[in-house]
Structure 1
Amino acid sequence: MPPEHDVDVLAAVRARGGIVVATGGCFDLVHAGHVETLRAARSLGDCLVVLLNSDDSVRRAKGDGRPLQSADDRRRVLEGLRWVDGVIVFDEDTPLAVLDRLRPDVWVKGGDYDAATLPETPLVRSWGGEVVTVPYLAGRSTTELVGRARR
């Protein structure tokens, strides 16, 4: 879906008084931890948009050899999940610029993060948004899975 479509979806949700939820990440190898985070995030509102790191952004964050899949393939996988209403790919190191443009009501990260220390927290709170961490499924990590596969 083009980004304009995602913005239209958000506008429609807002027009009917709904709650817009966003989350973000690399989603390089979607696993049970990702699925649980997306399910929990979607349960907090009326639509969920995923802010997806571009290939260059993943490479800068995770190093050479990543991503394992292209942004287009990662986007397609996410769009195929019933909890995801839209995906927007961003090229920056953080999703701050996209968040500022979309201004979701709720920003969600997995419980392996601390909401107080997320770089997105001050921005999201600046428009009255809420930052929520959802339960983390221990032992589910793309980096760990990649390491295991390589061994």
Structure 2
Amino acid sequence: TGGALTEAVARGVRTASEYVAAGGATALSDRLRETGSPRVPVGREDDAFEVAERVRRGGGTVVATGGCFDLLHAGHVCLLQQARRLGDCLVVCVNSDASVRRAKGPGRPVTPAEDRARVLRALSDVDATVVFDEDTPARLLEELRPDVWVKGADYEGRELPEADIIRARGGAVVLLPLLEGRSTTRLLEAR
């Protein structure tokens, strides 16, 4: 609904404003001056926890999001771009193949988890990925400890088991607007 989208945008703007007020823009400017890049250098494919810890040590904001990301599409890319703007690094938590099958059914995923994670890491807005096998990323987020957890506005009014974990540590849960009509399920149904 229009109200849910308006509230999601307002919540995203509030969170971004808090980030800027806390010095996030200064931290980004410092990194640009030092390295010429806003990205945190990533040396290995499996170092999401190291990236998050390095950003935290530098006083930065760790943002995480999660999902299946099966058949990456413009809606995913838009969400990732918006999420990355909320902090100093973006870690994407990717559902394993077994986790996707439990959530979406026996015909999914179309793309194996290793490939989905690799494609996501190739995007300039993604600093690291980590694959999880549980139905929700709650246990993973306890260890990763992001400052901001991002999901799409389609989760408005739905219970997110991981939200309490984020908020208990003083973090924020942000629901960002989606590109209308973009979903992997719709793409597959249109075939």
Task: Please indicate the TM-score interval, normalised by the length of the shorter structure.
Answer: over 0.9
The offset of 1:115, in angstroms, is 6.5
Q: Structure 1 unaligned runs (5+)?
A: none
4+ residue runs over 3 A deviation = none
In the alignment, is the contact (CA less than 8 A) between 1:115 and 1:132 conserved in 2? no
Using the size of structure 2 for normalisation, the TM-score is 0.75
Counterpart pick for 2:88 among 15, 40, 46:
46
Q: How does 1:2-151 map to 2 (within 5 A)?
A: 2-3=45-46, 5-114=47-156, 117-149=159-191
| Amino acid of the structure 2 residue aligned with 1:98 | L
Deviations 1:87-127 (A, max 9, x none): 00000000001001111000000111127622211111011
In the alignment, is the contact (CA less than 8 A) between 2:75 and 2:183 conserved in 1? yes
The offset of 1:2, in angstroms, is 4.3
| Amino acid of the structure 2 residue aligned with 1:96 | A
Using the size of structure 1 for normalisation, the TM-score is 0.94
Q: Structure 2 unaligned runs (5+)?
A: 1-43
Determine the C-alpha separation between the residues in 1 that align with 2:45 and 2:122.
15
Normalized per residue, the structure richer in helix is: 2
**Aligned pairs, number:** 148
**SS at structure 2 position matched to 1:112:** helix
Determine the C-alpha separation between the residues in 1 that align with 2:166 and 2:108.
29
Determine the C-alpha separation between the residues in 2 that align with 1:67 and 1:116.
23
Task: Go from structure 1 to structure 2 and tell me whether the alpha carbon gap of 1:144 and 1:34 turns closer, same or farther (over 3 Å shift).
Answer: same
Determine the C-alpha separation between the residues in 1 that align with 2:186 and 2:50.
37
Task: Go from structure 1 to structure 2 and tell me whether the alpha carbon gap of 1:115 and 1:95 turns closer, same or farther (over 3 Å shift).
Answer: farther
Percent identity, please: 59
In the alignment, is the contact (CA less than 8 A) between 1:51 and 1:88 conserved in 2? yes
Determine the C-alpha separation between the residues in 1 that align with 2:85 and 2:128.
15
Determine the C-alpha separation between the residues in 2 that align with 1:104 and 1:113.
19
Structure number with greater Rg is 2
Deviations 1:40-78 (A, max 9, x none): 000000000000000000000000110001001101110
In the alignment, is the contact (CA less than 8 A) between 1:109 and 1:132 conserved in 2? yes
